[in-house]
């Protein structure tokens, strides 16, 4: 089968973050968050030049021999690099943790034995901008749940959120089946929200409620936002954390960056009564501690997906889903 990206393209709602929110964009955004858990943002203030610099500096690291990269790997002390064959044979990534993005990036550079601060400088700039952008986006998402919910809940619930970045490089093998070979398998993000930059290659797909894979076609100067599990649970499923994946499309490397904006580790996630809605609405999640869910997901990866359920519903749902424990 020839994979055609124009097949099943998903027309995502667009949020212009430079403009005041009007009621029609709020309602299209509300619908998008509920139905897809994905939308796009434009006029985000991140220059093409910054993306270009990050791309070339990251590629300098990805093109090092694997022995060098493993100095940052899972058996090293800093563990910022995930080599191919851990998440997928065609996927490798570098993690940069906030809020001190420069220090985190520099620890990787130092471990490689390099003496260059350019990578840590661009990571600090990008990480800080993503953190600010995430705050704006979370507030807009809260507004979709109710009038004034941004002011009511941002400071009390989301003020201690933190972000980290994953820089992803996909390298297809010579003989892959277009559209069938996964670069990153189906998953949901654990974050509150994720902001994704993808290059022009394409391959990111989201699963519809009826199980169809829809293409999120790359669009210049546009970033993708998706709702993660923490927000799905906190909103009592009024916001959807959708399953998504990346399929390999072309015989060239694909580059992307995901910024995960998450609750603090010891946060107790519990949907406020007002968010759940009128008394007859069922509460779907029990309260849970954020880091316990992260540990649950790590164990699921170790033990294999078949054995135990792997979504936040399986972990904290009042009624577990079918494949739950």
Ligand X SMILES: O=C(O)CCC(=O)C(=O)O
CB of 148 to ligand X, least distance (A): 32
Give the H/E segment covering residue 145: helix 118-145
189 lies in the binding site for Fe ion (CB under 5 A): yes
The alpha carbon dihedral of 239, 204, 28, 154 has a sign of positive
Q: Which of 282, 186, 194 is nearest to 231 (CA)?
A: 194
What's the min distance (Å) between Cβ of 70 and ligand X? 21
- 247 belongs to the binding site for ligand X (CB under 6 A): no
258 is a site residue for ligand X (CB under 6 A): yes
Under the criterion CB under 6 A, does residue 270 sit at the interface with ligand X?
no
Closer Cβ to Fe ion, 245 or 250, answer by number: 245
Question: Of the two residues 189 and 237, which places its CB atom closer to Fe ion in the complex?
Answer: 189
CA distance 308 to 315: 10
- 178-207 binders of ligand X (CB under 6 A): 184, 189, 196, 198, 204
For Fe ion, give the closer residue by CB, 120 or 226.
Answer: 226
Query: What is the 3-class SS of 29-47, one letter each residue?
Result: HHHHHHHCCEEEEECCCCC
Residue from the set 13, 29, 137, 246 that interacts with ligand X by CB under 6 A: 246
Q: Please report how close the Cβ of residue 189 comes to ligand X at its closest, in angstroms.
A: 5
Q: Please report how close the Cβ of residue 106 comes to Fe ion at its closest, in angstroms.
A: 26
Look up residue 79 and give its two tokens. Answer: 């563990």
How many residues sit in the footprint of Fe ion (CB under 5 A)?
A: 1
- The angle, 0 to 180 degrees and rounded to 10, between the axes of the packed helices 23-35 and 118-145 is 100
SS3 265: coil
Task: Work out how close the CB of 168 gets to ligand X at its nearest, in angstroms, rounded to a whole number.
Answer: 5
Binding string, residues 42-81; x marks residues near ligand X by CB under 6 A: ----------------------------------------
CB 255 within 8 A of CB 230: no
With CB under 5 to 8 Å by kind, the binding choice for 166 among ligand X, Fe ion, none is ligand X
What is the phi/psi pair of residue 196, to 5°?
-115, 130
Cβ atoms of 205 and 214 within 8 Å: the answer is yes
In SS3 terms, 156-208 reads as HHHCCCEEEEEEEEECCCCCCCCCCCEEEEEECCCCCEEEEEECCCCCEEEEC
Q: Does 15 interact with ligand X (rule: CB under 6 A)?
A: no
Q: Provide the minimum distance between the beta carbon of 259 and ligand X in the complex, in angstroms, as a whole number.
A: 10
Q: Which residues bind Fe ion (CB under 5 A)?
A: 189
Q: Which residues bind ligand X (CB under 6 A)?
A: 166, 168, 184, 189, 196, 198, 204, 244, 246, 256, 258
């Amino acid at each position: 089968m020839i994979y055609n990206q124009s097949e099943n393209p998903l027309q995502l709602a667009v949020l212009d973050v430079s403009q005041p929110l009007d009621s029609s964009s709020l309602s299209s955004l509300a619908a998008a968050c509920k139905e897809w858990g994905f939308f796009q943002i434009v006029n985000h203030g991140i220059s093409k030049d910054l993306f270009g610099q990050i791309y070339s500096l990251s590629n300098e690291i990805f093109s090092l021999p694997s022995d060098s990269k493993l100095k940052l790997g899972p058996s090293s002390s800093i563990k910022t690099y995930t080599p191919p064959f851990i998440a997928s044979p065609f996927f490798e990534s570098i993690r940069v943790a906030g809020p001190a993005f420069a220090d985190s990036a520099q620890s990787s550079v130092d471990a490689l034995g390099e003496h260059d601060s350019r990578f840590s400088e661009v990571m600090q700039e990008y990480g800080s901008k993503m953190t600010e952008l995430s705050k704006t986006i979370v507030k807009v998402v809260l507004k979709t749940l109710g009038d004034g919910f941004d002011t009511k809940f941002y400071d009390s619930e989301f003020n201690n959120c933190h972000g980290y970045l994953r820089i992803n490089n996909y390298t297809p093998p010579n003989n892959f089946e277009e559209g069938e070979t996964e670069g990153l398998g189906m998953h949901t993000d654990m974050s509150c929200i994720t902001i994704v930059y993808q290059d022009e290659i394409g391959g990111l797909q989201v699963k519809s409620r009826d199980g169809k894979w829809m293409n999120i076609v790359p669009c210049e100067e546009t970033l993708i936002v998706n709702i993660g599990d923490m927000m799905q649970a906190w909103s009592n499923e009024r916001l959807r954390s959708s399953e998504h994946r990346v399929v390999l499309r072309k015989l060239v490397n694909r580059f992307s960056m995901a910024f995960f904006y998450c609750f603090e580790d010891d946060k107790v996630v519990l949907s406020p009564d007002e968010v759940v809605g009128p008394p007859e609405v069922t509460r779907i999640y029990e309260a849970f501690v954020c880091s316990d869910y992260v540990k649950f997901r790590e164990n699921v990866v170790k033990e294999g997906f078949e054995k135990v359920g792997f979504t936040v519903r399986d972990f904290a749902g009042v009624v577990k889903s079918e494949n739950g424990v």
